[in-house]
Amino acid sequence: MKKSEIEDLLNELVLNDIHFVYLRDVKSFEQVFIDKEGGDIDLYVDENHLEKFNIILSTYGFYNLFDHKVFCSIKESEIISIDAHNGLYERLPILNSSNFLSCRGGNTEIPMLDDYILLAVLLLHPLDLTGLRGHRNYTNTKIVKIKSLWKNKIVRTKFLNWVKLEISESFASFVTKELPDRLELLPTKINKLKWLMYKNNFRNLKYLCIRLKKKILKPKFEKGYLITLMGVDGSGKSTALEGLAEFVNRYYNSEDKIKIIYMGSQGGYCFPLARLAEFRNKLFGRNKRSSIEKVVQEKTSGNSPRHNNSMSISYLIKSVFIVLEYLIRLVKIHYYTKIKCHIVLTDRYVYDVAREGIDLRVVDFIGKLFPMPSRTFLMKGDVVEFFRRKGEYSVNELKEHQDALETFLSKKLGKKLTLIDADRSQKEVLSQILHALSVSEHSK
C-alpha cells in the first residue's frame, strides 16, 4: 500500500472526528514505507470511537480478527498493518488515554505524540516486567531517538515532571543523574530502572500483578474459534473458506493456525463409507450404471436423488455410520479448538445431517452434542446462478432448501447468524465475512 493511501485513511479518521494519535514520530512513519518488509502503523484510538474506526478501516480493506488490535489488509501482497491500541497502553501500563489523546503535538496533518510522551514511551517501554517473551530492550534505534529528544531542554523538563508525578522522585533523580551523558549505557542500567519503576509505587505494582495474571492464566491469543459457512450447493462456500483461510494464516503469520473440516453429510468421511457402498453394490449385484440410471429417473420425476431413504437394513446401517461419523468430527472440533487453540472453519455444520432423512430425534441428539459456532455465515443468493455452477439439484429444490435453511438457522442461532450476499464477487464475499467478524468482536 502506498504512503498516500495510508495518509488518506488517516485523514479520513480526522475528518470523522475520531480521536487518535500516531505513537511514533514522522521519521518512523516514513521508514515503514521504505523497508521492504513493511511494518506496523501504531495508533492509539479513543475507545469510544472504536466501532466507527473499525468501519472506516474496513472501507480501505483493513480488518482485524477475534479481539486482536492488529488490522491487516485484504490484499495478499500487502505487508503493512495497523496496530490500534486503546485504554491502558499495554506496552506501558502507567500511561492512560489522557496522556496520549490530550498530549498530541507536531505540525503534521497526522496527530503525533507530544515529544515528552514519546520520550516516555521509548525510555519506559523496555521496563515493562510483563514482557514475558523476552524481546523488550533498548535497541540502537531507540537510543538514538532518546538522545535527540533528551537534548531538548523543554522536552526533558516536561518529561521529568511527568515522571515525578506518575512514577517516583527517586526514578526521576536516577535518570537525571545517571543518564544525561551516557545514554548509550541504557542497556546496562535496565535492571536498576525496572526496580525503581515499581519501588514505592503501589499503583504500578498492583497493575503489574493484574497484567501478569491476565497473561499467565488467560492468554489472549490462546483461544480457539469455530466458524461455520452454510449454504446450498453452488453458493460458493468452498471458495469463501479458501479465501478466509488464506487471510487468517497471513494475519497470524502462520501456516497452521487454520483447520478446515468438511461437515456436510455427503462426503469427507472419516469412515470409508464410499468403499463400503461399493462393497455393498458388488455384494448385491448393483452396478454403477444402474445407480446412475436411477438418479436420472428420480431427477426427471422431480424427486431428489439424495432423499429417497426407506426404513431398510441398508438405511439403518447408513444412519449408524453417519452418527458415528459426526461423533468423530465432534472430537476433531474439540481437539483443534480447545487443545490446539486453532481456528476451525467448517464447510456446512452438523445441521446438514437433516438432509439424509434421518429421524429428527437422532438429528436433535447429534446437534446438542456439538458446540455452538462462534459465528455462522449463510451464503444466500440467486439459486438459478447456483444451479448453473453445479446443477446437482433442480432450481426449485435449491430454492426450497435455501429458504428452509435460513428459517431454521435464524431460529436456532439468532444474532450469531450473518447473511452473506453470495451473488457478489469473491473479494466482496470475503470482505463481508471479515467485516462481520471484525465488527462483532468490537461491539461486544
- The pLDDT tens digits of the residues spanning 209-237 come to 776 776 666 554 456 889 999 998 899 99
Write phi, then psi, for 223 (nearest 5 degrees).
-140, 135
Residue 172, pLDDT > 70, answer: yes
The torsion region of residue 348 among left (phi > 0), alpha (psi -120 to 50) and beta comes to left
Maximum average pLDDT range among 193-202, 307-316, 434-443: 193-202
When the pLDDT of each residue in the chain is averaged and rounded to a whole number, the result is: 78
How would residue 289 be classed by pLDDT, with cut points 50, 70 and 90? very low
Q: What's residue 413's pLDDT?
A: 85
Phi-psi region of 371 (alpha: psi -120 to 50; beta: other; left: phi over 0): beta
At residue 303 the predicted structure's pLDDT band, cuts being 50, 70 and 90, is very low
**pLDDT at residue number 376:** 93
More confident residue, 144 or 130: 144
Residue ranges of E strands in 278-351: 343-347
Residue type at 319? Answer: S
Residues facing residue 20 across a β-bridge:
45
User: pLDDT tier at 131 (50, 70, 90 boundaries)?
Assistant: low
Indicate whether 434 pLDDT > 80: yes
pLDDT tens digits, 359-388: 666 667 777 888 888 899 999 999 999 998
pLDDT of residue 411: 84
> pLDDT for 53-111, tens place per residue?
988 998 888 988 876 788 888 876 667 889 888 877 766 666 666 677 876 665 567 88
Q: Which helix (H) or strand (E) holds 40?
A: strand 39-45
Backbone phi, then psi, for 255, in 5-degree steps?
Answer: -100, -5
- Give the integer Cα–Cα distance in Å for 288 and 274: 12
pLDDT surpasses 70 at 155 = yes
**Domains of the chain: residue spans and CATH:** 3-217 (3.30.460), 225-442 (3.40.50.300)
pLDDT for 356: 52
Q: Average pLDDT in the 416-442 region?
A: 85
Comparing 205-219, 245-259, 325-339, the range with the smallest average pLDDT is 205-219
Residue 6 has pLDDT above 80, yes or no: yes
Burial class (CB in 10 A: 0-12, 13-18, 19+), 409: buried
Q: What is the pLDDT, as a whole number, of residue 432?
A: 92
Q: Given this model, what pLDDT does residue 383 score?
A: 92
Mean pLDDT of 330-335: 89
Could you tell me the pTM of the whole model? 0.72
Judged against a pLDDT cut of 90, whether residue 421 lies above it is answered with yes
